[in-house]
Amino acid sequence: MDRRLKREPEIASDALPFTTQDCMEPQKIIDLFEVSFKHILQSPDLQDYIQLVKGDLYNRDYLTAFNSDDKRFAYASRWTPARSLAYASLFASLEPIKELMEDPESIKNVLCVGGGASSELVALGAVFCRLKEYNSGSPSTLNIKLIDIADWSKVANNLTTYIKENWVYRPEKFNSEFICDDVLTASPESLNLESLNLVTLLFTTNELFAEKRKETIKLFQQFSSRCQKGCLLLIAESAGSYSHITIGERKFPIQFLIDTILVGKPNENNGAWEIVNQSESTWYRINEKEVDYPMKLENMRFFYRLYCKK
């Protein structure tokens, strides 16, 4: 039996470590943003654009929030660094994902749904590149596909270039591709679901269900029918009532709905996936003594589920 299929305990104490030996040091991750976004961080207009984005996000007007490169770079310079730190710790702390990054032989393919702001890209790079330092002659390659409805291509390309030039021993071993498209209407062929080893939906699922519930359920059904055996699926979302969804007159935690679609009804477990790691509420806290960045880096509290395709 593939040991990735064995259920693991939840991460102890429901708190992620600030950093681990299996990812780049937090300050190295922060340096990536300070260098890559130097012109953004020094712009006198930055705070104005951040306020515009905050207003649009408060109104849940996601299309307007990210309708220009100025807004997208403002968001990425303000919020992506903290999320990258949290996601890097999460990826490195989840043994099946760490094993995926560590594999010395294989080409691994990852799809990050709603990953345009590139927190997942940086976090995956931070884990993959650190693990490859221990095996610099490894032929393994990591290919990351980001899909988002707004055009984050400049942000993603900017950060990928830094990672290739500064973190990875052979630049051709770390690759990213950005797809500007609505994942709910994109063709399964363009996503190449059959080739994937990992799919992430981090702080994206709630938004998808709120916008188009039927289409989102169909997307998860496509994952179930097309993803290969052993593929991992990681979902994370804000912990608490923000991530509840209304069905009829009742409210349910969104993870209950996702579990039902992927795993099956409670106690039946007749779905295409099984849960291999989970937490209903975990914290990632910034150690401000160890990182220096010109803007505030917020702590994060979220739930997550790591599924494996049967």
Domains of the chain: 18-309 (3.40.50.150)
Mean pLDDT of 252-268: 90
Tokens 């032989």 belong to 105
State which H helix or E strand residue 164 sits in: helix 153-166
| Reported confidence tier of residue 1, pLDDT bands at 50, 70, 90 | very low
Mean pLDDT of 23-31: 98
β-strands 273-284, 300-309 pairing: antiparallel
Tokens 């693990």 belong to 131
In terms of Cβ atoms closer than 10 Å to its own Cβ (0-12, 13-18, 19+), residue 26 is buried
- Whether pLDDT at 120 is above 80: yes
Which is more confident, 52 or 248? Answer: 52
pLDDT of residue 247: 77
pLDDT of residue 126: 98
- Whether pLDDT at 12 is above 70: no
| Reported confidence tier of residue 10, pLDDT bands at 50, 70, 90 | very low
38-41-44-47 Cα dihedral, nearest 10 degrees: 160
Main-chain phi, psi angles of 45, to 5 degrees: -95, -5
SS3 293: coil
- Whether pLDDT at 5 is above 80: no
pLDDT of residue 242: 63
**In the chain, pLDDT over 70 holds for what percent of residues?**
95
Say what the pTM is.
0.94
What DSSP letter does each residue of 63-99 carry, written as one string?
HHHTSSHHHHHHHHHHTHHHHHHHHHHHHHHSHHHHH
**What is the tens place of the pLDDT at every residue in 124-182?**
999 999 999 888 788 899 999 999 999 999 999 999 999 999 999 899 999 999 999 99
- Whether pLDDT at 113 is above 70: yes
Q: What is the average pLDDT score of the chain?
A: 92
Distance CA 113, CA 71 (A): 20
| Reported confidence tier of residue 3, pLDDT bands at 50, 70, 90 | very low
